[in-house]
Chains A and B, each alone.
Chain A
Amino acid sequence: MLAPTALLTGMGLVSGLGLAVAAKFFAVEVDPRQEQIADILPGANCGGCGLAGCSDFASAVVAGSISPADCPVADDETAQLIAEIMGVTVEAKDPQVAIVLCQGNIDIAAKKYRYNGLASCASASLLGGGDKGCGQGCLGLADCQRVCGFDAVEMTAEGIAKIIPERCTACGQCITACPKDIIKLIPANSEIHVLCSSHEKGAAAKKNCGTFCLGCKKCEKFYGEIPQIKIDSFLALVDYNNPPTNPEVAEVCPADAIVYLPKDKQTGRYV
């Protein structure tokens, strides 16, 4: 009874000692700041920064190869905290969100053909650009939802993707995943959007979808001298550097492409 107990205890002691020595001699030097940064990062490992995860980002910051503000998910407060740890200053960054610039749901968008294949937008778009008549329409097969690490993409019952701004962290994964390139990052406080991505001329766009921008320039003229919405080859583009504020522009649009999504001034949330 005594011998096995002593033997086991002895083995434990020897191994423990070995581990203690190994920990001392083979220790990997880690900059303590790296751990501090990793602790305050969002920890979602979304890959939005282009690196493998949050600890990778932390070591890149310490190595100086990436700016503390380059984590797209972290808010301005976190960025400033990281900058403080590193002893550098970063410019204040405005929060952003992603938005799907398409309203062509199954009720209003025409289809070219019946798609019977893998439920993935990237696969569908290999077949003549997908089944939607409009070449820039949301295909509704949820590639963006699949890659979102924050559960911020909702597939509506009408078959198009919609970003939930409260959950969106602007990591940009959905933008990469979308084969139609119709998801964009915009300032989180902007309220007026052109929810169409079609550069087709009016008649062609109308054939494909019930809600479309025909490039009539009514919105551009609405703002007068310095237009906050500009037409670029038959598509109105919101100038988010100088975002439009007057909600009446939505009334001007003859095809309902411009929408006004009001936000609560205090909380910044949609009302």
Chain B
Amino acid sequence: MKFRGGIHPQYNKITADLSVEALPLMEKYVVPVAQHLGAPGKLLVAKGDEVFKGQPLTEAAGFVSVPVHAPTSGKIKAIKNLPHPIGIPMQAIEITPDEQDTLWDEIKPVGNWRELDPATMKSAIQNAGVVGMGGATFPTHVKLSPPEDKPIDYLILNGAECEPYLTADHRVMLEQPADVLEGVGLMMRILGVKKAVVGIENNKPDACKALQDNCPEDLDIDFVMLETKYPQGSEKHLIYALTGRAVPPGKLPMEVGCVVQNVGTAVACLEAVRDGMPMISRVATVTGSGINRPTNINFRVGTLLSDILAFCDGVNPETGKVIFGGPMMGIGQFDMSVPAIKGTSGILCLQNDEIAQFEGGPCIRCGNCVETCPMGLVPSILGLLSERFEFTEMGDNHIADCIECGSCAYVCPSHRPLVQLFKRGKVEWRVIQEKQNG
């Protein structure tokens, strides 16, 4: 099935054929305490402590919370507010490696997922700090704990990777197909579902074939090639494309009996259970015309952006913008000393001529955005309301359902900064609602 709207940007997947390179040990790591959606963890270590690779630095503060772990062995140099990819300095743990890279001695396999009970595996996943690796970084064990009155009948594996430029998930599916599917099996066991569907955009037939060839016989997994269209990898659109079910406004996928997980997350869950290994590294794409050697990397969480760029032979002088994530939904960075974190799926360097700065004009009511909006909203009206600070009306026009995919801004001939207008509107609408609800 096809969802309505969406766009076909230039995909520029220039790193699709390059295998993942592991980064060498760096001279410094900065591990922010908050790398996920939900409550930040509570500190377990202090300045001057010696830590080992994989040792937890924080503990979960509540259910919707996960710890962070030391990426290597070394000494804690400082715990203070340091630059964070979201743009505001946040509490982070700075580690100076001792270059021994000694593994923490309490890291041992939890067991075989085919035999373990779901509760044990869920707590192993939480303790390993596993979060959704598609970019939203929602703690995975929460998604694997649907309430009892919401029966789940499908586990959906998100291999769409619809953001232009990014090829990290593509490489993971090609290079670790068996691990991905074992991870799927593990999550199916936790959820108690019999059926899983893997959705892959049809520009990655090799990834689909690799998975199909490695599918264990005891697992009922369907492989579906999806139309290549942005935002195919959006949770709600993927569910619709694969099952024809529409997630009601303001609700989660479990409402229609689905749980969606990213391919990288599947591997991280497997490693957490099979090896007891916490989430201290991930695969990301370093790409764009600005970087001298585009490639896919496996970096340790907390590696500085400047170190990653140096590993890829640096940026060329024409580079004007560095984005964490893809070009559609990524966050621009202004400080090259920020660390790459659990949610960093790509580092995109664009040249000045690709990031033309333009002034947004008035809405000419062409309706392009209305045809394009995959959520069926009316971006033109929402934009005008935001400009006039009429946030209550924005709420009445369902601003809360906007997924900020940027399709409307992409097609707008008047170059209106629609996503920015909506982000403001969402914040204000949330404040209005909180006031109404006391």
A contact set with B: CB distance below 8 Å? 112-114, 116-118, 120, 122-123, 126-129, 135
Contacts and interface: CB of A to CB of B under 8 A. Distances in A.
Which label, helix, strand, loop or mixed, suits the secondary structure of the A interface?
Answer: loop
Given A113-B332, A116-B357, A118-B387, A128 B421 contact: no
Nearest to B420: A117
25 contacts: A112-B334, A112-B335, A113-B332, A113-B334, A114-B357, A116-B358, A116-B359, A117-B420, A118-B386, A118-B417, A122-B424, A122-B427, A122-B428, A123-B421, A123-B424, A126-B420, A126-B424, A126-B427, A127-B87, A127-B420, A128-B86, A128-B334, A129-B87, A129-B88, A135-B89
B426 to A, nearest CB: 10
Nearest to B358: A116
B423 interface: yes
Given A126-B424, A126-B427, A129-B88, A117 B357 contact: no
Contacts of B421: 118, 123
A123 B423 CA distance: 8
A218 to B, nearest CB: 26
Nearest to B335: A112
Given A127-B87, A128-B86, A128-B88, A120 B357 contact: no
Contacts of A129: 87-88
- Which of the listed residues B88, B334, B359 has the most CB atoms from chain A within 10 Å of its own CB? B334
Interface string B71-101: 0000000000000001111000000000000
A123 B359 CA distance: 16
Interface in B400-426: 417, 420-421, 423-424
B320 to A, nearest CB: 9
B409 to A, nearest CB: 11
Contacts of B87: 127-129
B391 to A, nearest CB: 11
Contacts of B334: 112-113, 128
- Which of the listed residues A112, A117, A118, A126 has the most CB atoms from chain B within 10 Å of its own CB? A118
A128 B87 CA distance: 4
A120 B88 contact: no
A118 B427 CA distance: 15
Nearest to A113: B334
A20 to B, nearest CB: 41
Nearest to A129: B88
A230 B241 CA distance: 62
A112 B336 CA distance: 11
Contacts of B427: 122, 126
A54 B73 CA distance: 66
Contacts of A118: 386-387, 417, 420-421, 424
Interface string B192-221: 000000000000000000000000000000
B78 to A, nearest CB: 14
Contacts of A126: 420, 423-424, 427
Nearest to B320: A114
Nearest to B87: A128
5 nearest interchain CB pairs?
Answer: A128-B87, A113-B334, A123-B424, A112-B334, A117-B420
A118 B428 CA distance: 15
B344 to A, nearest CB: 16
A118 B424 CA distance: 10
A122 B387 CA distance: 12
Nearest to B332: A113
Interface string B373-392: 00000000000001100000
A145 B259 CA distance: 48
Nearest to A112: B334
A118 B421 CA distance: 7
A127 B86 CA distance: 8
A159 to B, nearest CB: 18
Nearest to A146: B389
Contacts of B335: 112
B361 to A, nearest CB: 13
A102 B10 CA distance: 45
A118 B335 CA distance: 22
B219 to A, nearest CB: 43
- Which of the listed residues B89, B332, B420, B421 has the most CB atoms from chain A within 10 Å of its own CB? B420
A239 B165 CA distance: 55
A259 to B, nearest CB: 28
A128 B338 CA distance: 13
A135 B84 CA distance: 14
A129 to B, nearest CB: 5
